[in-house]
Amino acid sequence: MDLYSLWEEIRQSDWLDSKTMTGLREELLRVRAVRQRLSQQEITLQSAVDIVKECETSKFLLNSDMHKSIVDVRDSLLRFTQRLLNLFQKPASYYNLVEIIRDRDDLAALVEGQTLVRYLIGVSAPEDHCITNYAANLTSG
């Protein structure tokens, strides 16, 4: 419903009490509340999400400049929090479980619940391991 058709309904209705007039009053109160929330000094991600929901339920604010600007703010805050999450998130493991247990000769003992001590054979630093493998490939090839 656009504003012109809403105005046509209101123009022909009882000004004091009608369903259309009550709807218009609610819309005006919603617009006022959204403007007040936007004028606050700080907007959190949760308040931005709430304001976007209010704008999407409003007939006047949907797709308005105010709605578009708060959607941009919400999206920027979401991107910022995602970057923070990526900063502190542990990196994914290089190997998956199948690669870890596939070539073990003691797999049957592990399935039965026996614990066996495994020792690291070879170099201790990953960079040395890559250099050793690269050198071995050069000499064997």
What digits encode the pLDDT tens for the residues 121-140? Answer: 665 666 555 554 444 455 55
Q: Is the pLDDT of residue 63 over 60?
A: yes
Task: Check: CB of residue 38 under 8 Å from CB of residue 51.
Answer: yes
Q: Return the pLDDT at 28.
A: 84
List, for residues 33-54, the tens digit of each pLDDT value.
888 888 887 888 888 999 899 8
What mean pLDDT is reported for the chain? Answer: 76
What is the 8-class DSSP label of residue 12?
T
Q: Return the pLDDT at 1.
A: 54
Residue type, 7: W
Q: Is the pLDDT of residue 68 over 80?
A: yes
For 8-125, list the strands marked E by DSSP. Answer: none
Q: Return the pLDDT at 120.
A: 63
Give Cα separations from 87 to 66, 80, 123 (angstroms): 32, 11, 30
The reported pTM is 0.50
Q: Return the pLDDT at 93.
A: 64
Residues 114-124, mean pLDDT to the nearest whole number: 66
Task: Check: CB of residue 37 under 8 Å from CB of residue 66.
Answer: no
| DSSP characters over 70-89 | HHHHHHHHHHHHHHHHHHHS
Q: How far, in Å, CA of 25 to CA of 99, rounded?
A: 65
Task: Check: CB of residue 44 under 8 Å from CB of residue 73.
Answer: no
